[in-house]
Homo-oligomer: A and B are copies of this chain.
Amino acid sequence: MAGEKNKEKLILDAAVALFTAQGFAATRMEDVAKKAGISKGLTYFYYKNKEDLFMALTKKAFEQLKDEFRDSLRAKGKNGLEMLTDLVQRIWSFSKEQPVYYQSILHFLDLMKKYTSPELKSQINPLILDSIHFHKLLELQLEPTRLGIQMVSQGIKDGSIRPELQPEITFYTVWSMALGYEKMEGPITFEGKETKVSPEAWQRGYLKMMQDMLKGTIQATKPQAVQASLF
């Protein structure tokens, strides 16, 4: 009774667990069902097909991501630049703690590229276009962006970000930097074994450069750990 989680969520949780451990392609719907403690058929009752399930998962990922954005924006006593710095770090944490959600977001971005290109649109699996979750995502994906743009605007207003920067473009730049960072982790770690660039040093350097790129005349209200560390 009490512990009777909603089946839909049960399935999604099982999917996340298995995708994390084995990847999307290597996970069979039957395994998802088994892990969720239900029958295979019921999985198809709640999700039209594997793609639909993945789109539902992606939706959840965006919702969680939005929460991160919201928490960054709500933080008391932070100026715009500090918010963005915090946000980027949250994104990195998110990519580590919820790798499947994070990957699903990256996958969705690739999807968007195809979706917005007339030549590539046909490459998209029709089952994805069929999914109701996919269409909800088209809207949902904009929400984190809106919050991010607010942070930049806030930073310009409070003087922590250069006034000549255009908020939309600036936010997209920050967002894409965060995404690019994650891609480099492998090579950095690999090479770091023999060079001086440790992942930690790189992260500090990366944030610092980003802040330099953005910052206006007003200094941070309080010294930030990242800013303090030299590299």
- Which stretch, A8-16, A73-81, A182-190, A217-225, touches the partner chain B? A182-190
Q: Let me know if B145 and A187 touch, CB within 8 A.
A: yes
Query: Least Cβ distance of A111 to chain B in Å?
Result: 7
Q: Let me know if B169 and A175 touch, CB within 8 A.
A: no
Chain B residue nearest in CB terms to A179: B180
Within 8 A of B (CB), among A154-173: 165-166, 168-170, 172-173
- Which stretch, A31-39, A46-54, A126-134, A194-202, touches the partner chain B? A194-202
- Report the separation of the CA atoms of residues A175 and B189 in the bound assembly, to the nearest whole angstrom: 15
A113 contact set on B, CB distance < 8 A: 185-186, 189
- Report the separation of the CA atoms of residues A141 and B184 in the bound assembly, to the nearest whole angstrom: 12
Q: Which one, B183, B186, B231, contacts A115 given CB within 8 A?
A: B186
Q: Let me know if B180 and A116 touch, CB within 8 A.
A: no
Q: Does A229 contact B (CB under 8 A)?
A: no
Binding site for B on A (CB under 8 A): 21-23, 25-26, 106, 109-117, 123, 138, 141-142, 145, 165-166, 168-170, 172-173, 175-181, 183-191, 195-197, 201-202, 205-206, 209-210, 212-213, 231
Besides A21-B123, A109-B187, A173-B205, 6 other A-B contacts (C-beta < 8 A): A26-B123, A141-B187, A168-B195, A168-B196, A176-B184, A180-B183
